Chains A and B, each alone.
Chain A
Amino acid sequence: MTMIEAIRDAHDVAMAADDRVVVFGEDVGFFGGVFRCTAGLQEKYGKSRCFDAPINESGIVGTAIGMAAYGLKPVIEIQFADYVYPAYDQIASEAARLRHRSNGDFTCPLVIRMPTGGGIFGGQTHSQSPEALFTHVSGLKVVLPSNPIDAKGLLLSAVADPDPVIFLEPKRLYNGPFDGHHDKPLTSWKNHPLGDVPDGDNAIPLGKATITRDGADVTVLAYGTMVYVAEAAAEETGVDAEIIDLRSLLPLDLDAISASVRKTGRCVIVHEATRTSGFGAELMSLVQETCFYHLEAPVIRVTGWDTPYPHAQEWEYFPGPARVGEALKKVMED
């Protein structure tokens, strides 16, 4: 199963189990989504439960908040994470704070899905990784799966969650894992163990990281596409890295992070998003706070550059295995 099919399957399971779940967004109903993540849902559940919205992100999120406050469970799609900014006010000022400012009278069980990240030659308005804009807002949860099994399991947990969840889907991983070697043939989820998605309700709890590669020398903190890039970098450099796929940025599995860093004594943090005030800065602070006396070298970040996402020279921007590999070697030398 591809990640797209896994996401569609999660919708199907959630909609079948609970008629409060409604799904909408731009091109989501009749057309089944530009990436096909909601294909077939309108036929199966009808137009009142899976439908098209006009192109108005602020309106989509705002109405979903109202629905959520009065007992529905909207799962909405923002077509690209790059399109979310008109809705940011509704997310930051309304969805995130409804529970707190109503003293818990009203809540916002809402999932906002968005394809995120680069590597598809999308340029500055179809490639961004805005996760830190959401982790910076109290009251939101932020989830970012890296494979079909996790995508389905985490989406089911997100739908069941009583609070607003930002669900970021690395679109470069929709059809197969991607290790940053853009000139190699594409690989597919078909026959990949992580594409073997179980039927039914196999929710994976939010806030639990997973170790994708055991290692003794350095801990790599990654999520989304960067998990595969880090794996490739470890293989190519021979550095015995322990790679942690965070899966959920908020809540964050700090226990898993500190246990690993305390073991290895070294840490490299990797993300596609721009560097300054990126989520890597938060991770670095937490590692420093919890593991300082175990560290044998300064923590290193490998990130996108502090520039708009480029059209030309995409692979100079995208943190590929070469840049991650350099960081692994450097952290071992320090």
Chain B
Amino acid sequence: MAARKSAKKPNTSKEELLGYYREMLLIRRFEEKAGQLYGMGLIGGFCHLYIGQEAVVVGLEAAAKEGDKRLTSYRDHGHMLACGMDPKGVMAELTGRSGGLSKGKGGSMHMFSKEAHFYGGHGIVGAQVPIGTGLAFADKYKENGGVTFTYFGDGAANQGQVYESFNMAALWQLPVIYVIENNQYAMGTAVKRASSMPDMFKRGESFSIPGEAVDGMDVLAVKEAGQKAADHCRAGKGPYILEMKTYRYRGHSMSDPAKYRTREEVQKMREDHDAIESVRALLLNGKHATEDDLKAIDKEIKAIVNDSAEFAKESPLPAVEELWTDIYA
């Protein structure tokens, strides 16, 4: 781990590393808590955890500027926490309560925040990709220098509307970063079973969209790639594709027993490539933090997550009348 730091990122500051550690840990602990609440029956229906993929969104958020926009699929809790949305509001949306970010109307997959420029949580695979392209169009139209981070998975990368988006984004030179979170499984189907050409970063070649593959388990590599892509977009050079090679430790959703892969495969990824453990090692080996410092952070995160869970349990159900609000103006 120390070798990686000195070789790749000699100038990463202690504060930056601690920030990554804190944010990734917040996502992981939040998701673990969500899994527990699901098990207790407090969260129902569909719930897709981001555990394992934390470095992707945390690294890219480090490359974003105020006013940049982001949107993603249904595996969205991590993205919301990373862009500064209130963990209480996220958790209470999972439990379907009035204190949730969508007042209980959306649930796990469908949340938004104008303040955080978060344009959703989208439950339909790939549907967010043209929408992100349109957000980028609006940025260009307004000449505000903004960039849109449009996240989608390796499964969504096979939807036709992704390629319609690529063409339009390249044609109109839109400031959009297509982030393909390749966690290797589209639900239960491994990439090789559903993709004729598994190198997702090459998918923009015929549109002349530059793309690169990134170690999505390495938050520093993600940040660096995100910076490069954002600079490209801000310079008016059009869209950019980042394929984040990542891995989800849990099933596709809470109801997925994940029988399509071996326990050993998951275990090996956790042991050898865990994003949080890597940063932890950098912090400790570089003498940026002591075990006690990190324990203090763990404690702080635990308190935030517990508070969010308490809030999500105690917040009342939305009034029945809320069923009929926000349908029309």
Contact = CB atoms under 8 A, between A and B. Distances in A.
Given A82-B124, A310-B105, A121 B44 contact: yes
B125 A306 contact: no
B45 A30 contact: no
B320 A311 contact: no
A313 B107 CA distance: 11
B189 A31 contact: yes
A9 to B, nearest CB: 22
B260 A30 contact: yes
Given A123-B109, A305-B323, A312-B105, A55 B45 contact: no
Given A55-B158, A125-B110, A313-B320, A30 B193 contact: yes
A53 interface: yes
B156 interface: yes
Contact of B188 (A30, A125, A313, A317): A30
Interface in A171-222: none
A237 interface: no
Interface string B291-329: 000000000000000000000000001101011100100
Contacts of B113: none
A126 B123 contact: yes
B35 interface: no
Contacts of B187: 26-27, 31, 34
A55 B160 contact: no
Contacts of B105: 308, 310-312
A307 B327 contact: yes
Contact of B317 (A53, A59, A312): A312
Interface in A11-27: 26-27
The B interface is mostly helix, strand or loop, or mixed, namely loop
Contact of A123 (B45, B188, B322): B45
A125 B195 contact: no
A27 B327 CA distance: 34
Contacts of A94: none
Contacts of A104: none
Contact of A312 (B104, B125, B126, B160): B104
Interface size class of B (residues with CB under 8 A): 35 or more
A121 B160 contact: no
A55 B323 contact: no
A30 B194 CA distance: 11
Contacts of B110: 123-125, 311
Contacts of A307: 323-324, 327
B124 A31 contact: no
B155 interface: yes
Contacts of B93: 311
B209 to A, nearest CB: 20
A133 interface: no
B248 interface: no
Nearest to B324: A307
Interface in A56-97: 56, 58-59, 82-83, 85-86
Contacts of A56: 158-160
A230 B208 CA distance: 58
A313 B194 contact: no
B323 A26 contact: no
B186 interface: yes
B160 A59 contact: yes
B127 to A, nearest CB: 8
26 contacts: A31-B187, A31-B260, A53-B194, A55-B126, A82-B123, A82-B124, A85-B124, A86-B160, A120-B45, A123-B106, A123-B123, A124-B110, A125-B74, A125-B124, A126-B46, A305-B324, A306-B327, A307-B327, A311-B45, A311-B105, A311-B106, A312-B97, A312-B103, A312-B104, A312-B322, A313-B96
Interface of A: 26-27, 29-31, 34, 52-56, 58-59, 82-83, 85-86, 120-126, 305-308, 310-313, 316-317
